[in-house]
Structure 1
Amino acid sequence: MAKFQINILGCGSATPTARHQPSCQVVNFRDKLFMIDCGEGAQSQFRCMGLKFSRLNHIFISHLHGDHLFGLPGLLSTMALHEVSGSVTIHIFRDGARLMKEWMDFFNRNSPFEIIYDVIEEGERRIVYEDGGLTVETFPLYHRTPCTGFIFREKPKLRHLRGDMVKFHNIPIAMLQAVKEGADFVREDGMVIPNALLTSPADPSVSYAYCSDTMMDLRVAADISGVDTVYHEATYDGSMA
């Protein structure tokens, strides 16, 4: 199975406690790191968990309350000191992008990496990140300030080759990718070898939804329907369980 790991760096409510830091998570997908929210203490927890700054290139901020954001300037400054190269994209609401740009231009103007701001609009549903194996999409949450959730979806995987059948039918190496993608194999004599004889089913793809501060709302339930794993922050009492 491909790596799809959730690291909980912080899950406290509004303020740090002796046991919990404010909100922050890191999704490790095939050794690419994606941070969701960045409360105080995020960079310390990041290092305690043995995560690598060089593998962090995307940061997703759910909303502009300090317990989800105050760790970001310090994290980016530390990454600059570690001479992280390339770029870091921050997915954030417009006012947050403006404030962060002013802050980083003042305190971190000689950063060795480029900071890219991907502006999230209130209430929008769109794919904000995509690569060959993963998409990240936004969906609206319902809070005192504009707020968004994030769904990480692993793309459908390729089928597994059956080595014995590949060898038996002498399938050329150049054809193996197409067969893994579901194609049948046509021999030189015109005989069609069905894909089902050459492969076994692909591993299931998985998905993860992050819901930060939000009121209980059936629209959220609809947006995350079918997701394999859900993280939902809450400060309700036991009667709301």
Structure 2
Amino acid sequence: MTIHIKNNEEIAAMRIAGQLASEVLDYISPFVKAGVSTGELDRLCHDYMVDVQHTIPAPLNYCPPGYSPYPKSICTSVNHQVCHGIPGTKVLKNGDIVNLDITVIKDGFHGDTSRMFIVGEGSVQAQRLCQVTFESMWIGIEQVKPDAFLGDIGAAIQTYAENAGFSVVREFCGHGIGKEFHEDPQVLHYGRKGSGLKLRPGMIFTIEPMINAGKKDIRQLADGWTIVTADHSLSAQWEHTVLVTDTGYEVLTHSAGCPPPPTL
């Protein structure tokens, strides 16, 4: 495992990329309503990234080993879709929940973040799942400081989510990020406190728990990308990109419209 510790110049570039990614979510928020298709949300985000921000949509044609190229500029995961939902003809309706996952490239650096949206009036379960997932992400973020361990993040998230009656997806995790979309280390959202890599200032990685209302088991759809819950239960995810500082952490994917940290 090779962990790239970012220098001050790289951190400054990552702040810019992170803010831009979050601003895409600010821009698209008013359009996330009943009657809009996920394909239209993708088109709007793509045009905003390319024409307004002059950023590159990182997911478009992204092709890790064993995958076909990802065909769209954002990920739209609706209801029981856990992650990597491909935008298309799906039209959002009242009560749906949807995760919009945005990654932009600016001057060679990646900014990666996602938010949950409830379309209209969500069910009590949907609202609670989205809120607990948001809180789980922040509880994970608040473990970040020099000489803490990656396992501290996962253990805190797992404990909080499971105590709320939900389950944590195991197969997908947070990741280091910088000039590469996915770098070391992997950041698990479950685990044991005091285990794993020791955190050092200059590390940058995502924390992005995927929390299911039902069981943790998942499966992949035939499109080769979309992941869904095996039991068809709702799933939620929130994501921030985080820097380890000399005294704690800094959230890099922050913008004017970003939801503030919860009161825990």
TM bucket normalised to smaller: under 0.3
Higher relative contact order (CA 8 A, sep 6+): 2
State which structure, 1 or 2, has the greater radius of gyration over its C-alpha atoms. 1
Q: TM-score normalized by structure 1?
A: 0.26
Q: Larger % of strand: which? A: 1
Q: TM-score normalized by structure 2?
A: 0.24
